[in-house]
Amino acid sequence: MGGIDASDLLPFGTEEEVRASVRKTIDDAGKQGRLWLGSSTEIHPAVKLENALAMWDEIEKYGYYQG
């Protein structure tokens, strides 16, 4: 549960770095996944809005397994 860094990546990374991290985390979970993907902690005020939205968008686009 979690997996996307909210201390460095979401506040200071680029949107593409966030998207790449989402894809890598999903890939690393394996085909059957069973992963609840989100930020490693809460979405705090230092998190860039565009990065939080990119994380959720990429999860929606990439986050479903083709069993």
Q: What is the 3-state secondary structure of the chain?
A: CEEECCCCHHHHCCHHHHHHHHHHHHHHHCCCCCCCEEECCCCCCCCCHHHHHHHHHHHHHHCCCCC
Residue 22 placed within a domain: yes
In a domain, 38, yes or no: yes
Supply the mean pLDDT for the chain. 87
The stretch 7-35 carries a mean pLDDT of 88
13 pLDDT tier (thresholds 50, 70, 90): very high
Sign of dihedral through CA atoms 61, 63, 64, 67?
Answer: positive
The pLDDT tens digits for 36-61 are 788 888 899 999 999 999 999 998 99
- Domain-located, residue 28: yes
* 51 domain-assigned: yes
27 found inside a domain = yes
Total number of domains constituting the chain:
1
Residue 12 to residue 35: CA distance in whole angstroms: 25
Domain that holds residue 23: 2-62
Q: Is the pLDDT of residue 21 over 90?
A: yes
Entry pTM: 0.85
Q: Is the pLDDT of residue 67 over 90?
A: no
In a domain, 67, yes or no: no
* Contact in structure between 16 and 49 (CB atoms under 8 Å): no
